[in-house]
């Protein structure tokens, strides 16, 4: 006979936090949002922590190298999507790891015999105004000069003008030799009032650039998440099909943490994938697994050796798994049960396996609820897809700017590996949709507001850390009418566009 759960599965919107005592020390500025990303033993320090409890989803429409850099600046981690070639994904990881060292490999390179039209086209493609002019037009060719916006005026020049006629030649550039430290490079930039400093090798080949804006960026992002070599931390998604090829390539490229991307993680395929990683790399390679929605699923993946476990089936805004297959569970109920299993596992084994709530986040306060219910961090897709840094197009729809957003189980993504159950190499049916989300600007203009809400709610509960929030939180179920009561009601709202 089938097993029936006695209680219905519930969503985050069915709960509210009840305030606790707040001391005069409990102010948002004193809160600590750091959280473990991977497992660790009792009494030991977690080898990889985040400064904020947020990671971006393993999706084509969310997490590429640009998002990874932007989120690492804010203290979180992006998992670069795996539904692309191994070489392309590894190259994205390399770009992230090369970025923060301060020595940036140039991705805007042309030859001197090319034209102003080529400069403008490249600027449109990359968004970068500094173009390296090398003998062969590659990132490490012999440096002959650079072109910036100060070297040309579109209104007074022809698109056919040769770059050699208006570039700033190498003789007029301030450069630094390979081996120059980042501190010394920044000193040169400030002493000579430069925007960029080319680093060249003994043969005159371009090695990298150091940019003034990166120094300023560091000062604006006090929570940025860096590895031991002062590079941004980056994650990458893998699947249970080509892991023998993909994992070594991602590790060689510098990925700090991996995550098996699957709609359902309670399977032999995930255990086999983790076993391969442990046999080849031991515990040095960190890999998360999932997704699961109950105690049994968590125990299976924890015993298999997962470094963290993701929770959630069918709760994503673009996911229709529950509609198409009838599989899933309310996200709040899933988090509560798996969190209890995580604590039980820690008590039994002395190993703390962090859990990630993936999906079901509609409002910012849902993140705080997920943390209070026991999640160590949350994975978000729709939230991050709205920002400039996501890899999708910004389009005008009905007079409003939107960003494209699609699920990995959609016909557009065709990520059959995520939904693979040992069958054919194709999507038999879709489990995701292709849609738009309202454009929201840059991640730096939005994420601090979300984090401010989390900090404020933590203080309302008398907590200064996520662990303290989980210990002190008091949660109450809400009725349908109390949900109505919680919003603006019984008033006539002013038109927001006309208010000063």
Does 411 have pLDDT greater than 70? no
Task: Name the percent of the chain lying above pLDDT 90.
Answer: 75
Which residue intervals of 326-411 are DSSP H helices? Answer: 331-349, 364-372, 382-385
Phi, psi at 209, each rounded to 5°: -120, 150
Q: Is the dihedral of CA 486, 381, 76, 305 positive or negative?
A: positive
Question: Distance of CA 7 to CAs 229, 282, 330, 377, 457, Å?
Answer: 49, 41, 11, 25, 28
DSSP 159: T
Q: What is the pLDDT of residues 103-144, one digit of tens each?
A: 888 989 999 999 999 999 998 877 788 999 999 999 999 999
The token pair at 236 is: 């990458």
Annotation says 319 is catalytic: yes
CA angle (138 as vertex; 133, 140 as ends), nearest 5: 90
Q: What is the pLDDT of residues 6-64, one digit of tens each?
A: 899 999 999 999 999 999 999 999 999 999 999 999 999 999 999 999 999 999 999 99
Question: Based on the number of CB atoms within 10 Å of its own CB, is 211 exposed (0-12), middle (13-18) or buried (19 or more)?
Answer: buried
Q: Which of 95, 418, 455, 461 is catalytic?
A: 418
Nearest CA among 144, 149, 148, 152 for reference residue 175: 144
Other C-beta atoms within 10 Å of 158: how many?
Answer: 9
Q: Residue 450 has what pLDDT?
A: 98
Encode 355-372 in three state secondary structure.
EEEECCCCCHHHHHHHHH
Nearest CA among 374, 380, 359 for reference residue 74: 380
Q: What is the pLDDT of residues 285-321, one digit of tens each?
A: 999 999 999 999 999 999 999 999 999 997 776 676 6
Question: Based on the number of CB atoms within 10 Å of its own CB, is 300 exposed (0-12), middle (13-18) or buried (19 or more)?
Answer: buried
Contacts of 366 (CB under 8 A, 6+ apart): 12, 13, 360
- DSSP secondary structure string, 391-433? SSPEEEETTEEEEEEE-TTSTTT--GGGG-SS--SS-SS--B-
Three-class DSSP category at 129: coil
Helix, strand, coil % over all residues of the chain, rounded to 5: 35, 20, 45
Task: Name the percent of the chain lying above pLDDT 70.
Answer: 92
Q: Residue 496 has what pLDDT?
A: 60
User: What span, in angstroms and rounded, lies between the C-alpha atoms of 214 and 103?
Assistant: 10
Structure confidence at residue 500 as a pLDDT band (50, 70, 90): very low
User: Which of 72-86, 99-113, 469-483 holds the top average pLDDT?
Assistant: 72-86
Other C-beta atoms within 10 Å of 172: how many?
Answer: 9
Look up the pTM and report it. 0.81
Annotation says 342 is catalytic: no
Q: Residue 131 has what pLDDT?
A: 96
Question: Distance of CA 135 to CAs 114, 148, 163, Å?
Answer: 11, 18, 12
Phi, psi at 309, each rounded to 5°: -125, 130
Contacts of 490 (CB under 8 A, 6+ apart): none
In residues, how long is the chain?
A: 500
Question: Angle, nearest 10°, between helix axes 243-253 and 268-281?
Answer: 50
Structure confidence at residue 499 as a pLDDT band (50, 70, 90): very low
Other C-beta atoms within 10 Å of 397: how many?
Answer: 12
Other C-beta atoms within 10 Å of 212: how many?
Answer: 15
Nearest CA among 262, 321, 292, 327 for reference residue 83: 262
Q: Which of 319, 356, 378, 461 is catalytic?
A: 319
Could you tell me if 452 and 420 are in contact, meaning their C-beta atoms sit under 8 angstroms apart? no
């Amino acid at each position: 006979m089938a097993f029936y759960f006695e209680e219905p599965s519930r969503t985050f919107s069915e709960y509210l936090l009840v305030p606790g005592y707040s001391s005069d020390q409990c102010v948002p500025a004193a809160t600590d949002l750091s959280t473990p990303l991977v497992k660790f033993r009792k009494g030991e320090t977690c080898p990889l922590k985040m400064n904020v409890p947020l990671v971006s989803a393993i999706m084509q429409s969310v997490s590429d190298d640009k998002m990874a850099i932007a989120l690492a600046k804010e203290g979180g981690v992006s998992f670069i999507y795996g539904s692309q070639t191994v070489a392309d994904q590894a190259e994205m990881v390399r770009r992230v790891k090369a970025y923060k060292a301060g020595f940036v490999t140039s991705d805007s390179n042309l030859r001197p015999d090319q034209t102003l039209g080529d400069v403008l086209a490249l600027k449109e493609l990359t968004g970068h105004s500094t173009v390296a002019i090398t003998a062969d037009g590659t990132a490490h060719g012999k440096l002959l000069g650079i072109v910036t916006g100060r070297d040309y005026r579109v209104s007074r020049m022809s698109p056919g003008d040769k770059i050699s006629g208006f570039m700033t030649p190498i003789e007029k550039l301030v450069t630094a030799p390979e081996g120059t430290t980042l501190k010394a490079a920044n000193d040169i930039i400030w002493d000579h009032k430069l925007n960029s400093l080319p680093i060249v090798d003994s043969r005159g080949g371009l090695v990298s650039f150091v940019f003034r804006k990166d120094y300023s960026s560091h000062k604006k992002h006090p929570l940025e998440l860096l590895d031991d070599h002062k590079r941004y931390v980056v994650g990458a998604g893998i699947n249970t099909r080509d892991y023998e090829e993909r994992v070594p390539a991602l590790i060689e490229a510098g990925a700090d943490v991996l995550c098996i991307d699957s709609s359902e993680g309670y399977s032999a395929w995930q255990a086999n994938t983790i076993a391969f990683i442990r046999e080849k790399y031991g515990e040095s390679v960190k890999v998360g697994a999932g997704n699961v929605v109950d105690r049994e699923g968590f125990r299976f993946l924890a015993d298999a050796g997962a470094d963290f476990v993701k929770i959630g089936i069918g709760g994503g805004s673009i996911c229709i798994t529950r509609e198409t297959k009838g599989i899933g569970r309310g996200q709040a109920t899933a988090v509560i049960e798996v969190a209890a299993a995580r604590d039980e596992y820690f008590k039994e084994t002395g190993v703390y396996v962090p859990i990630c709530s993936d999906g079901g986040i509609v409002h910012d306060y849902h993140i705080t609820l997920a943390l209070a219910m026991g999640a160590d961090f949350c994975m978000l897709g729709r939230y991050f897809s709205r920002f400039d840094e996501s890899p999708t197009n910004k389009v005008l729809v009905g007079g409003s700017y939107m960003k494209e957003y699609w699920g990995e189980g959609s016909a557009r993504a065709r990520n059959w590996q995520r939904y693979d159950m040992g069958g054919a190499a194709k999507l038999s049916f879709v489990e995701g949709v292709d849609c738009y989300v309202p454009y929201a600007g840059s991640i730096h203009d939005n994420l601090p507001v979300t984090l401010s809400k989390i900090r404020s709610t933590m203080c309302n509960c008398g907590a200064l850390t996520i662990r303290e929030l989980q210990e002190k939180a008091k949660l109450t179920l809400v009725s349908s009418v109390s949900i109505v009561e919680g919003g603006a009601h019984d008033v006539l709202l002013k038109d927001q566009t006309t208010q000063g």
